[in-house]
Structure 1
Amino acid sequence: MPQIGQEGQQILSSSKVLIVGAGGTGSTVALYLAASGVPCDVLDFDLVELSNLHRQIIHDESQVGLEKAISAVNKMSRINSSVTYNSLICKLTSENAMSIIEKYDLVVDATDNIDARYTINDCCVLLRKPFVSGSAVQMDGQITTVIPYVTPCYRCLYPSLSVTLGSCRSCADAGVLGPIPGLIGCLEAIEVIKLLLNRDKYVDTQKEVTPQKDGGCVNGSSANSTDHPSDTVPAPKKQRVNGKSASQLKPLLGRQVMFDAVTGEFHTFQLPPRSSHCAVCGDHPTVTN
C-alpha cells in the first residue's frame, strides 16, 4: 500500500501501544494490531467468563477463568510470533496510571467504566500521549481520537464526572449485540495505525516527562513476554512515511463517529473545540498530577 510501504511498516513495528481493556472492543483492536505487526501490551485485571465470549472474540472456552490480559497476549502471540507482547494484570488507577502510560507511544481506551476513561484521559493529557477511545452498548457504538492540546479531551467535553455517571451504561448491565464492539474495535485499530504513521505531525514529542514510580502491575507470562524498564522514558523519534502518502491518512481529530446498528448508519459529528476552562488541558489547569 502506497500509504504505508516498507517505511511505514518499520514505524509500526518500532512503536509501542497500550491497550487498556481486553473485552469486546479491546479484543478486536488487539487482534488486528498484532496482525499488523504493532507491539502491544494488554492491561486488564478481570478473568475470562463464558458470558463474555459472544463479543470478546480474542478469548475462547478453553480460556474461561484465565486472566483476560494473559489470554489476549497468548492469542496475539499465536497470530504473530515475531512481535513481543506483555500482559499487565492490574486495574488502572490514578495511583499507577502515570507510571504505566508513560512507557507507550499511544493508548487505546477499550474500557467499560467512566472512572477508567477519566484516568486515561488525564494521564494521557499530562504526558502528551494520544489515545483512541471507543465504546459500544446495546445497538450503538462510538469512537473518537484525542490528541492532547490539539483536540478537545474528555474533560473538555464532559467536565463533571457526576454529570456523566447517570447516562453511563456498560455491556454487562445493558447488553450489546456481539458484532458491534468488534466493529468499533476495527475502527480503533485503523485510528491507531493512522496516528502512529503520522505521529510527528500531530504530537509534541519534545515535552520533557518526569519518570514515575513503578505502577505495581503483575506482568503475566506469554510466549514473547518481556519487562519494560520504568526508570527511563525514551524520546520518540520524528519519522516520515512516503512523503504525502502518509499525510492522506487523516485521524478523527475533533470528530466523533457513531454507528447505529438499528438503521445501519454511520454518523460523524464535529466536536466542540478544546476548552480554555478545561481542568486538565485548559489555560489554568487544576488537574496537574
Structure 2
Amino acid sequence: MSWDDNGGKVWMDGEFVDWKEANISVLSHVVHYGSSVFEGIRCYENKNGSAIFRLDEHVDRLFDSAKIYKMKIPFEKEDIANAIKETVTINNLRSCYIRPVTYRGYKELGVNPLKCPVNTSIAVWEWGTYLGDEAMENGVDIGVSSWRRLAPDTMPSMAKAGANYMNAQLAKIEAIENGFDEAIMLDYHGFVGEGSGENIFLVKDDVIYTPPLSSSILNGITRNSVISIANDLGYEVIKEKIPREMVYLADEVFFTGTAAEVTPIRSVDNITIGSGKRGPIAEKIQSEFFSIVEGKTEDKFNWLTYLDY
C-alpha cells in the first residue's frame, strides 16, 4: 500500500492538506529554474519513544540555505521545527524520513525570482536503509565519477539547494549504469569531494580524514555528528584536501548522510578497500551512532528531540 492510500498529510504554508492535494502550479518558478532549498531529516523509534535527529541543526541549515538564495521564509525557525514535529505525529509515524522544502512559487515566469512567493512544505514517509541493509555490514561498491562537483564560483555548495542535485544526478546515473552502487565526485581541482548525496571519510593508520568545506561539499549534519563521535572515541579527524589515489590506499572508507547514515565502502573503481568489508573504525562509529539514535546509550550530545504521542 502506498503512503497516499493511508491518507497521509502534508504541511503546506501552515496548513495540513491531503497527500493527493499537496500540489503546486506547473508554472511555479521552482519547476522551471530549480529554485528550492530543502532538508533530509530522520525520525527514529527507540525504547524511549520517537525522536527526530538533530532537528534544530537541520532547521538552521534550511534557513541558511534560503538566506544564500535570498529566499525569506515567512515563518520563524521555531514555527518550522514545530511543524516538522506535528507532521510526523499527525501521520502516526514512529520512524520516518522528513523532507521540508522551501521553494519559489508562481507569480511570473523568468529567471528573476524576486517577485515569486516563497512557499514551504513538509512531507514525511517511511524509508529504510538508503543503500540497502547489507551495505551496513558488507559495504558498497563505488566508482569515481567523470562529473565533478561545482566550482566554488559557480553555485554555492553550502546551500542544500534542489538545483545542485542536477549535478549529483549525473554522477548517480553514471554510477548505476556502470554497475556501481554510488559515486565519488571530485572537486573542481581534482580532489575528493563527496558522493551524490553523502559525505565521505577515509581511515589510514588509525587517523580519520575527510574533505574540507572548500572541496565544494555540503556541510553535512551527519558528517559533523560522526566527527563528534570519532573525537569522543579518541580518534583524530583531519579535514584536508584528499587526492583521488589516497582513497585506493585507505584502510577504510565510508559514507555518511541522513539517508546513508554510516555506510562502509568496500571497493572504489573495482579496487578493494582494506579487507573488502566494513572496517573496525567504521564499525565503532556506526555502532555508537546507532546506539545513540536507538536510545541504547546516553544522548550525550543532545541530538534527539522526542515527540509526544
TM more than 0.5: no
Structure showing greater Rg: 2
After TM superposition, the score normalised by the length of structure 1 is: 0.26
After TM superposition, the score normalised by the length of structure 2 is: 0.25
Which of the pair is proportionally richer in strand?
2
